[in-house]
Amino acid sequence: MGGAARYLAELRGYLARTGRGDVQVIGAQQRVSPGWLVRRELSGGARSRWVALNNVGFVARGGQRWTLLRNALHFLTQAEEATLKATLPASVLRDAVAVRLAARRSDVLVVPSAAMAERVTRLAPDLDRRIVVRAHPVSAEPPPGLPRDPAILCPVLFAPFKQMAERIGALARVVGELGDGSATVLVTADRTEVPAPIASHPRVRLVGRLPHAQLRELRARSRAVYFPTGLESFGYPLAEARVSGQPVIALDTAQNREVAGPALCGYDPRDPDSLRHAVTRALTAQLSPDPAPFDPGRYFDWLLGEPR
């Protein structure tokens, strides 16, 4: 789900467009386990390049071994771990140990943002020279045929550590204060995931978890995107907003400025006035699409090597 599914959709689209017969995708339906990692390395024989897309690198060295590190939870600071430990599944911290060890068996470590590169090198300074920053691929989409609705889409999968109930509540209060009463908040969650006051708020509509195609249509009809999470390695909604020329309301951080670029309407979560200004700006801004930084063809040609 989430960013992992989004990335896989881009890979499948690229392979379908190019018809590359020199790329074999394995393990798409497998769960990562020690046994699977061993079978992965024994299954394919000699290849010029191995690319691990699921954060977990390799058991042995040999050949060109590349790993995509895209889960910030595997590289938490001590302060973050202490704060979030009670809300994270125990498996996340166990997995982090394996991810960091396996990273040392890779020749190239690909990360989707400068902030993620800093996370990795903070905990493993010896990996610095192997890290390459490349923004995730995001396909350009045709502009909507009709004017966008005065809606703000929040396409975030809920998790305890993301504090989504609090942040959706803050947005609902701001939208409720807008003078014309036309703006609504569309949230990809159902009633079991949000507190009752949010579920019953007159300006909030719960749309449930949606597959990418339906989410894309909903985003195309929305005026802006709300992406309030703070612990991300990239943030697909930020990039998608930039690609489509759509304002995105998100924390005013260096990482969000890097990914969202001119589409960012940044705010400080400690300052209600800054969120109010960001929402007002997002509902009135006029932006041009900017797909160039996330071109899938250029990205996958580089990651997988030029077609043979």
pLDDT at 146: 67
Q: Quick one: 276 and 154 in the same domain? A: yes
CA distance 296 to 140: 9
Reported as a single tens digit per residue, the pLDDT across 226-246 is 999 989 999 999 999 999 999
Q: Which of the listed ranges 122-136, 147-161, 212-226 does the model predict with the highest average pLDDT?
A: 122-136
Q: Is there a single domain that holds both residue 195 and residue 224? A: yes
Q: Which pLDDT score, from 0 to 100, does residue 165 have?
A: 84
Average pLDDT, the chain: 90
Q: Phi and psi (nearest 5°) for 187?
A: -120, 130
What is the pTM for the complete model shown?
0.91
How far apart CA 204 and CA 96 sit, in angstroms, is 36
The alpha helices in 32-150, defined as continuous H runs, are: 34-43, 78-84, 90-103, 114-123
Residue 119 sits in the same domain as residue 17: yes
When pLDDT is averaged across residues 244-262 and rounded to a whole number, the result is: 97
**Residue 144 is assigned to a structural domain of this protein:** no
Which tokens go with 225? 């995107």
Is pLDDT larger for residue 145 or for residue 134?
Answer: 134
Pick from 265, 270, 307: which is nearest to 284 by CA?
265
Provide the domain limits for residue 236: 149-290
Shared domain for 177 and 59, answered yes or no, is no
Q: Do you know the residue count of the chain?
A: 308
Return the pLDDT at 1: 63
User: Would you say 152 and 226 are in contact if contact means Cβ atoms under 8 Å apart?
Assistant: yes
In a domain, 211, yes or no: yes
CATH for 243: 3.40.50.2000
Paired tokens of 306 = 């030029």
d(CA 199, CA 201): 6
Name which of 83-92, 113-122, 294-303 the model is least confident about.
83-92
133 near 164, Cβ under 8 Å? no
Q: Does some domain include residue 54?
A: yes
Higher pLDDT, residue 27 or 277: 277
CA 188 to CA 162: how far, in whole Å? 14
- Going by the DSSP 8-state scheme, the letter that residue 194 receives in this structure is S
Single-letter residue type at 70: R
In this prediction, residue 34 has a pLDDT band, given cuts at 50, 70 and 90, of: confident
Residue 143, domain member (yes or no): no
Q: What is the pLDDT of residue 46?
A: 63
Q: Using alpha carbons, list the distances in angstroms from residue 140 to 150, 210, 216, 235, 297.
A: 22, 20, 11, 16, 11
- Residues 114 and 153 both lie in one domain: no
Domain count, the chain: 2
- Longest CA pairwise span in the chain (Å): 65
**212, pLDDT greater than 90:** no
The average pLDDT across 249-261 equals 97
Q: Are 181 and 283 within one domain?
A: yes
276 and 167 in a common domain: yes
Q: How far apart, in whole angstroms, are the C-alpha atoms of residue 246 and residue 239? A: 10
